[in-house]
Structure formats: C-alpha cells, structure tokens
C-alpha cells in the first residue's frame, strides 16, 4: 500500500531566498523567470562602457583550444589518459582546508 502525499501544515515550510524578509525574488537557478516577480520601483543596473565591452581575445569565444580538448576526450575514451589520483586527492583536500579555515 502507498501512503498518500500529505499537504499537512505540520511540515516546515521551505522558503525561497529573500521571501522571509519580504524582498522580491528574481528567478531561480531552477530556471525561474525574472519577470514572474515584480522588482522594486527604481531599481536599475548600468554597466560602464569598459565593463560592457569584451576584450578582443574573448570576442571570438572562450579561450579554449578545441583541438586539445578533442585529443583529451579521445585519450580518456581509449583509457590512455594518465590520471594521478594522489594529486587529485591532495588538491581536493587542500581546497577543502581552504573552505573550512
């Protein structure tokens, strides 16, 4: 037998960020629409021309060498890409220590 889903008020309510403070919430990481929630009157953002312009090297796309990416993907698929588990573990642990300190 399957228990029915209860919408009981006894369960704690999970609120969205800003909801408890009475602030409008703009979209969500889950794909919410910013137009679904009205913004406070007078709020605006303006970018300077320097911030709005992209450096020349980024105008053609991200600085990624797609040839090297394809070679790495192929090596991984063939099982020929060297993986240093000790270095990965050490790096993860170092990053963890930075977060907690």
For 9-54, the pLDDT digits (tens) are 445 555 555 545 444 444 444 444 444 455 667 788 888 888 778 7
pLDDT of residue 4: 54
Q: The whole model's pTM is what? A: 0.33
| Domain-embedded: residue 56 | no
| Domain-embedded: residue 45 | no
pLDDT band, very low/low/confident/very high, at 101 (cuts 50, 70, 90): confident
Q: How many domains does the chain have?
A: 1
| Domain-embedded: residue 100 | yes
**75-84 burial, b for 16+ CB within 10 Å, e for fewer?**
eeeeeeeeee
The answer to whether 51 and 66 have CB atoms below 8 angstroms apart is: no
pLDDT of residue 50: 80
């Amino acid at each position: 037998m399957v228990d029915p889903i209860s919408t009981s008020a006894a369960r704690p309510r999970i609120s969205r960020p800003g909801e408890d403070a009475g602030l409008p919430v703009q979209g969500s990481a889950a794909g919410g629409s910013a137009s679904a929630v009205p913004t406070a009157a007078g709020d605006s953002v303006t970018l300077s021309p320097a911030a709005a312009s992209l450096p020349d090297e980024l105008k053609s796309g991200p600085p990624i060498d797609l040839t090297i990416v394809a070679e790495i993907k192929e090596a991984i698929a063939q099982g020929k890409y060297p993986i240093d588990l000790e270095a990965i573990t050490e790096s993860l642990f170092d990053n963890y220590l930075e977060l907690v300190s």
